[in-house]
Structures are given as structure tokens and as C-alpha cells.
Structure 1
């Protein structure tokens, strides 16, 4: 079996074993299911051992054999190393591409307004942003580094705390003026509340109900109001005067500093149990482009 075919066969085998389907593996690899099956059978013939258990009728069931299960972690680690090696080769060619995964809201409200400063420092590094609510697979998607929001525990990734966060209510100057220019915690019980559905309240993130409880306001109806599943859109709704948002300080910092948003009831706030973390694979830690971006993120967080 020639080297390119050998690598293709290993890729087909790994995908079929992980996805437990030739069809799913074919879709991921952009080939036909028949091509995946042929590559797997060719690899079995070359190795002289079966890779999947077969039913009595000879139909292939995508359950890896014990030997295959033992080999899969090393095969996956090998593909990871190849990805890193290719990244180093691209860097050696002159330019450099840095793949960064972040949430759409964090991109809009924090990273993009600051990113020009990184480009000024590292003009030879092209940043490509992967913005999604779904957690990216670093090895599969060729991601170099990311910023995630949570408790700092993501399997297979190094996590360095970047920023803690506070939670407090905000509104627009126009909204505040239309409500007399000042407002108390009790007054907010009758206001239109804007709820951020993008955060996981089960992880301990404070809700409007928890905020009113800490403020000593009883009987507030926190089931009503505007519900949005994007933190940036939550803040924009507040900027547009649609109500009062329970804001995350990192997301709202620029809007508060500029006066687009006004912080209400400053004596009542929560320290969020969640924080922002810089995440990357340990194998990639020494890549110059990753080191430069990671150090820049930490500097920006302390500005």
C-alpha cells in the first residue's frame, strides 16, 4: 500500500470508527461510502487483521475490534501531530495563519474592537476567526487557540484564566430618562427585563431571579420580558431602549465606558462563577504565532 493511500485508509478507518458509520465518515471526508469501505477493506488486507466485527451474514457492523480500539488513540494522536507539523511548515514559508475559535458575542463585543492592535504587533500573522456557539474540535478543524467561557475544564486542552466577570443591570440613557432619570431595585420589578439565554443558569450563572433576591426585592415576576440567546444582541436590545438587561461585565465594558449603556443599582452585583479562558492544545503551546496571540490576549485583558 503506497504512502498516500495508506494515510487515506487510516483517515477513513478513524472516521468510520469514531462516527460508527461508513456514510457519516464519507460525508465528513467528502467521498462516497463505497470509497470509505474500499479503503478500510484495503487496510485490513494490508494489515492481515480485521478492524471491525462482522455479523454472521458478513455484513459489516461498525464496531471496532479490540486491536483496533487499542490502536485508535495513537492513530488520532498521529493525525494531530501531522496537523501541527503542517502548521509549522506554513509558518516557515513566510506568512502565518492563526485559527481562533470564539463565540459570536465575544467576537463582536470584545475581540474585534481590539484586534487591530494585534495586527499592528504581528502584521505577518493572518487571524481567521471561527465564531460558533458549538465547541470546536481543535484537531479536526485545525484550530490553534480559542477563548471559552466556563469553569476552565475542557478535556484535551490547556486552559489559562483570562478574565473574571461580574453581572449587573444596564439600560440605555434614553430608557433611564424616560423613567425619571433614576431607578431603584424595586422599580426594576416593573420594568421590561431582557434575559440572556446563552448562559447556562444550571452552571451557577446568576439569573434575574437571583439578582432580585440579592437586592431584597420579593415577588418580582422574572418570567416575563424579552428573551435572547446571544449576549451581544442582549446588550444591543438594551442600547436600543427595549428594557433592562442583566449584563456580563466583559461584554458590556466598552458600552458602559462609552455611555451607550448605564449601569443601574451599582451596589447590587454578582461575581460570576464562570470566567473567560484562553484554551489551546499542549502540543501547540510553543508555536510562535500562538505564543504571540496568547500573550497579547493577556495584555489586553489587563488594560
Structure 2
């Protein structure tokens, strides 16, 4: 007998013996009955023994066939059990997330790096998920936390203040002096169009009059607004949460410590109640919560070092 066992023929044999016939085996395997019969003949030829005998219209295992079946069905059962366990494990580590590009690009890569065995799918589409029609486990949403019928857990706060490049700030001070209100009046203002707190609302909160809100630069992505300010093209009203890298490297600085940093919940972990119970969702929620706490502490410390005062506000 050849040392190389025909495993395809063994699969067909085990199915035929377990199900009690060629037709049923063919249905399970998704092939024709003639293909199963051909594999059975090939296996008998390879083994050099008869594995089945016919009794009327029934196939009955011979003694050799019974011995081979007991060995093969146990082995295939073990393989099926292991396959099912692997699939369950993979399902437990399968996570589909929708998030804003500004948040996702800068943070979720760290989760992927620390969980290399996870199957992580990140969707940066601008619209919120429809959990009833889309295969999405959870959203990381930017908003005020009011989404009826969904669990919304605050994850990360915005820490909003005017930011600009150091060189641009030096030119402003040379032009109009150190008065904070004059700095705003003279600045070219960069608008993050989808931010909750924009220039008109901020100016009103600060009680600054005479500000021209022409807003020559307007972007629908915070990352683009931040980059424009980094390039020295004006002052952006943005969150230190998103501009942490630029603040750390010094390419962006607060416009003036006289302006309070406004803090409010802005990023939320959102999903249906049924999804929140999934192990993968719980694990990610724990990770993002710890990551957010670390990031917020760092942002607050950096702003405090720059002389800024942080105040909590309602939006």
C-alpha cells in the first residue's frame, strides 16, 4: 500500500459510512454521487481491501471498513471540533468599528499593534452606523451623546482652545501687541466646520467684540485644519485632544494663556445593548477607556505647563 493516504477519498469514505449511503454523503459534501463512488473505489484500490459490501440497496461496512471508519471518524471529529474552536476564537476577536478619520488614524493603530491576533476592521465613513442593516459592532462618535435606543459611553473629552504656529504667533504679537483680544481680531481664523465649538460660539463665550468671522479657510476634517495652522497659515480653534502630537513637538502653541481651555465630552463609544455584551466589545471598551484617560492626563498636563486654565463647560 502507498504511504501517501488519499485524504480526499478518506473524507468521502467517512461521510458515506457515517451517513449510511453515497447519496447522503454526496449531499453533505456538495458533489455528485458518482464522484463519491469514484473516490470510494480509489480508496479500496489503494488499501487493497473491500471496504463496503452491498446488501440489497444498502452499503454495509466490511470488517476492514469498520476498523477504518472507527479510526477515521474519530480523527475527523477531532479536526471538526478544533476547527469550530478556532472559528469561535476568531469570532471573539473579530471587531468592526466605525470612527471619524481624525480620531481613528491617530489612535486605533495602537490597539492593532497591541492586539496582533485580532481581526480589526476600521471604517472611516462620515455617517453614523445603522446597526440594524450594517455589520458594525460599534461606533466611536463625535457628538453630544444623545442617540436614542443606543448605549452611549463617554470616552474622550475635547480640550478646545486657539492654536497656531510659534512663528505666526510672533508675527501677530509684532503687529498688534500682546492683548489677547487684539490677537484674535488680527488673526486669520481657520474653521473646523464639523466641530461642536466653532469661532462664532467661542467668540461669544469669551465676550470678544470686533472679530471678523470671514473664515477664509474652512475644512471638514480637523486634521486638515490642524495642518493648516501648523503651516503658519492662521489660528485654528481645535482640541488639544486631536493636536497632541503638534503640541508635544512644539509646531503648535496656545495663542494666549489668557483664553481658558474649554473641556466637554466629545467622543463616545456607541452601540446597541446586544453588542455591548460581546467579549470583543468589552475588551475594546476597556482598552479605549484606559487609553483615553492616559491621553487626557497628558493633554491637561501639557496645557497646564503652558499656563492655560481648563474649565468644564456644557455643550
Instruction: Establish whether TM, by shorter chain, passes 0.5.
Output: yes
> In the TM superposition, what whole-angstrom CA distance separates every residue of 1:90-117 from its partner, at most 9, and x where no partner exists?
4435783311110112123x424xx33x
Q: Distance in 2 between matches of 1:93 and 1:220?
A: 56
Q: After superposition, where does 1:168-179 map in structure 2 within 5 Å?
A: 168-179=161-172
In the alignment, does 2:254 pair up with 1:263?
Answer: yes
Q: After superposition, where does 1:118-129 map in structure 2 within 5 Å?
A: 118-129=111-122
C-alpha contact (below 8 Å) 2:172/2:187 kept by paired residues = no
Gap change, CA 1:187 and 1:124, over 3 Å in 2: same
In the alignment, does 2:176 pair up with 1:187?
Answer: no
Gaps of 5+ in 2: 1-84, 295-315
Q: Distance in 1 between matches of 2:234 and 2:113?
A: 38
> Hey, what does 2:143 align to over in structure 1?
150
> In the TM superposition, what whole-angstrom CA distance separates every residue of 1:211-231 from its partner, at most 9, and x where no partner exists?
333444311111232111111
C-alpha contact (below 8 Å) 2:194/2:220 kept by paired residues = yes
Give 1:241's match in structure 2, choosing from 229, 232, 242. 232
Give 1:212's match in structure 2, choosing from 188, 203, 212. 203
Root-mean-square deviation (CA), in Å?
Answer: 2.5
Gap change, CA 1:284 and 1:216, over 3 Å in 2: closer
TM superposition shift of 1:262? 0.6
TM superposition shift of 1:137? 1.3
Gap change, CA 1:285 and 1:95, over 3 Å in 2: closer
Q: Distance in 2 between matches of 1:156 and 1:289?
A: 21
Q: Distance in 1 between matches of 2:292 and 2:224?
A: 22
> Hey, what does 2:97 align to over in structure 1?
100
> Hey, what does 1:288 align to over in structure 2?
279
Gaps of 5+ in 1: 1-87, 200-204
Gap change, CA 1:157 and 1:267, over 3 Å in 2: same
TM-score normalized with structure 1 length: 0.61
- RCO (CA 8 Å, sep 6+): is it higher in 1 or 2? 1
TM-score normalized with structure 2 length: 0.59
In the alignment, does 2:105 pair up with 1:133?
Answer: no
C-alpha contact (below 8 Å) 2:90/2:118 kept by paired residues = no
The alignment covers a number of residue pairs equal to: 207
TM superposition shift of 1:257? 2.0
> Hey, what does 1:19 align to over in structure 2?
none
Of structures 1 and 2, the larger Rg is shown by 2
